[in-house]
Structure 1
Amino acid sequence: MDFLGLAGSRIVVFGLANKKSVACAIGRVLVEAGAEVVHVVRSEQRAETARQLFPNSAVFICDVEDEENIIRVRREIGEQVSGPIDGIVHSIAFANYSQGLRPFHQTAKSDFLQAMDISCFSFIAIANHFKDLLAPQASLVTISISSTRMAAENYGYMAPVKAALESSLCFLAKSFSHFSQIRFNAVCPGLLKTSASAGIPGYIESYLFAEQATLRKRAVQTMEAANVAAFLLSPRSSGMNGTCLIVDAGMGLNFFDAAIVGKAVG
């Protein structure tokens, strides 16, 4: 039984970098569900990786930092993919940590604006430029984080950027409601073991701590976040719009975990 109702649907997935990417996990879930997946990646090198991982999927290249690239790839997909697009996945984030870990108040304006452009505005631009290709009840899903209100020093300015991304959901949903039933939602996972996260200073230590704070004492798996994304892309989530679904296995409610408290005060 096709419970999710994704068989035969066309989903465009932005952001695959390698086999550990959230975008890769989402692509695998969608293919398993019978969807036609189209990948959009940043570079030719990543395109080759995508072709190896998804030999039956069309692959396009788009560096979203330049909006003209989004316009171009929209045109290319419109010319080569037959039928309306039923969903888009935005799994894109970038922060320049080349200068290492710095106090938040020392964030460079250029770094902050670049991160906002790539990680947040790109979602708005993709929605805008792809709107004429979308099915009337299409679903757009982005990837955020489990909490933008927790001041993790090593995550720095990316939390405010993700907060802006989450806020944009309701404005996109309202804006698109004037001419469609297109939905906008976000998956907000806890700490994941991805190649992108490995570039965050001190991430491994944070990941191990988060694992202990998780109720089951086992970290959230990338595929668990991907499963939620597939649900949000499916007609089964038709009543959800402008929503952020947290996938953290209970970490956010386990602040006073006895074992952690014991180690801190023992």
Structure 2
Amino acid sequence: MTQTKIFLAGATGAIGSVLAPLLVDAGYAVYGSTRRAERAGVLEAQGVVPVVVDVLDAAALAPALKRIAPHAVIHQLTDLPRDLDPARMAEAVVRNARLRSEGTRNLVAAALAAGCQRLIAQSIAWAYAPGPKPWREEQPLDLTAEDPRGITVRGVAALEALTLDTPGLAGTVLRYGQLYGPGTSTATPRGTMPVHVEAAAWAALMAVQRDARGIYNIAEESPELSTDKARRELGWHAALRWPAEILQ
């Protein structure tokens, strides 16, 4: 039986490193991207085919996806410093916004050229404009925010528009809360809308399995954010975890 191919952009990141083996265990043939060749062995050990490529390099990305011809692309890329080092965050905000705008544009173009019409992309749940709470997916983003928040929100808006509004592409946006758990900057919940990294990975798998389209808030229950849609349409809940023995 032929396995369904998934291209996972950001396979060695916080969510990607959990999502990659989760997808493999679910029966998918996973091709995982990394910018660093020395990380290829980690992916291979998870049963993932490593693809050493930078999504900002459109000329290299396009032929890589054409060779793979994936059924779906999952975009879990970020460009943030280890432990969210405050001294490096100002520069990282700009890099991350570029990855969300230019990187997503390259991913979309390469996916469509490879015959792939399915994209699931990581976004954030704290980019909403001031308004009634809990925030729901149909509420607007804070596009008039001053920098540096404005830089982040504009990058998010570009990513979401490319994912959801590109002709010929069926898109899903997962608006994650503040990540915690293995591979993140904190082992315990932080922020007003935390989500465990393993629960975040489950949301991406469920979006693939259920062929879900549109925007979903993904976080633990809080007065700030409604996750009713994700629970109703994806069957997702914040207590989902990946079996500990698989992660060891």
Pick the structure with more helix per residue.
1
Q: 2:173 is paired with a residue of what secondary structure?
A: strand
Match status 1:228 vs 2:206:
no
- Structure 1 residues 26 and 252, CA, compared in 2 at 3 Å: closer, same or farther? farther
Q: 2:87 is paired with a residue of what secondary structure?
A: coil
Q: 2:178 is paired with a residue of what secondary structure?
A: coil
Match status 1:36 vs 2:15:
no
* Number of the residue aligned with 1:71: 59
Q: 1:8 is paired with a residue of what secondary structure?
A: coil
* Equivalent in 178, 182, 185 of residue 191 of structure 1: 178
- CA RMSD in angstroms, aligned pairs only: 3.2
Tell me if structure 1 keeps the 8 A contact 2:33–2:53. yes
- Runs of 5+ in structure 2 lacking a partner? 131-146, 226-248
| One-letter code aligned to 2:164 | A
| One-letter code aligned to 1:94 | D
* Number of the residue aligned with 1:118: 99
Tell me if structure 2 keeps the 8 A contact 1:13–1:39. yes
Q: After TM superposition, list the pairs within 5 Å mapping 1:3-22 onto structure 2.
A: 8-17=3-12, 21-22=14-15
Q: After TM superposition, list the pairs within 5 Å mapping 1:15-164 onto structure 2.
A: 15-17=10-12, 21-54=14-47, 57-65=48-56, 67=57, 70-79=58-67, 81=68, 84-95=69-80, 100=87, 107=90, 112-135=93-116, 138-149=117-128, 157=148, 160-161=151-152, 163-164=154-155
Tell me the TM-score normalized by structure 2. 0.68
- Structure 1 residues 115 and 170, CA, compared in 2 at 3 Å: closer, same or farther? closer
Deviations 1:153-173 (A, max 9, x none): xxx947742553244323443
Larger RCO (CA within 8 A; separation ≥ 6):
1
Q: Distance in 2 between matches of 1:90 and 1:60?
A: 14
Select the structure of larger CA radius of gyration. Answer: 1
Q: 1:16 is paired with a residue of what secondary structure?
A: coil
Q: Distance in 1 between matches of 2:211 and 2:162?
A: 22
